[in-house]
Amino acid sequence: MTEMRPFQIRRIFACCLAFLAALASLPGTALAEPVLLPAPYAQLEQELDARIDFETLPRRAEPGINLVAPIRDGGAWLGERLAGQRVSGRVHDGLHGTPALPLSVRAGAPGASLSLAYHRGFGSTALFPLGPVGFPALKARGEGAVAVLFDHGQRAMGLRIHSDYPTPLGQARPQGTITLTFYRADGHVIGQIRRRLSGGVNELGFRRAGDIADIAAFTLTNDDPGGIALDDILYQTAPMAF
């Protein structure tokens, strides 16, 4: 067996380092840094100056107000999907396709877009994404998709999601998952996060790696058996405030 000389060992080691550095620079590799980081919701409440809380419309009990068009709240637009995307699904909405430019939001089919209603779990008005069954059916409330488009790029955002009411009698349904997809203004996907929900209110926060203020929009879908409701979306009103 031939013994390796020191300079040969150093050369092999240098080649390995160069290979790992090149691999880490490629998008989508295991060595790439995460582009979206979890952030405590309570901390974002202190950092960010704006909140979408759906309290501008009259308070109505469920099934609430059926929205037939995108809605404007503060510095954001909300709809079912981004223009250019397609919706499919028999129980829960799924989103497919590439967003059209410039980014804009679109409402869903009549009765299958969004609704607003008083939510006793939140103790306030909340947003219900409506599924394919359609308004005002109970089975439609919370099974749909949501798209939010901000006026300015965001470096962080937060939201609260209610997955299901507690069931004191009988067996509770298992909680499902949500999928959040974040987009730049050019339609490029920044990243996607899939998160399993817990029962009741889930407070979620996300921060862009490097504090890059390029989150122009996000979409949200879910497969929760009981459906979801959204409230208190946190964001920043102006880029100069970062």
Q: Within this chain, do residues 206 and 141 fall inside the same structural domain, yes or no?
A: yes
Q: Residue 42 is part of a domain; what is its CATH number?
A: 2.60.120
Domain limits at 8? 1-30
Q: Say yes or no: 90 and 166 in one domain.
A: yes
Nearest alpha carbon to residue 54 among 41, 67, 39, 35:
67
* Distance (Å, whole) CA 65 – CA 62: 8
Residue type present at position 193: I
Query: What is the reported pTM?
Result: 0.84
Instruction: Report pLDDT digits (tens) over 102-144.
Output: 999 999 999 999 999 999 999 999 999 999 999 999 999 999 9
Give the count of domains, the chain.
Answer: 2
Render pLDDT for 151-206 as a digit per residue (tens, 0 to 9). Answer: 999 999 999 999 976 555 555 668 899 999 999 999 999 999 999 999 999 999 99
pLDDT in tens, 4-26: 555 554 565 455 545 544 444 45
pLDDT at 38 over 80: yes
Give the H/E segment covering residue 140: none
Q: What is the pLDDT of residue 209?
A: 96
For residues 236, 239, 241, 242, the Cα torsion angle rounded to the nearest 10 degrees is: 90
DSSP string for residues in 5-23: PHHHHHHHHHHHHHHHHHH
Is the distance from CB of 162 to CB of 186 less than 8 angstroms?
no
> 46 and 9 share a domain?
no
Beta strands in 108-226 (DSSP E): 114-119, 124-129, 146-154, 156-162, 177-183, 189-196, 201-208, 215-222
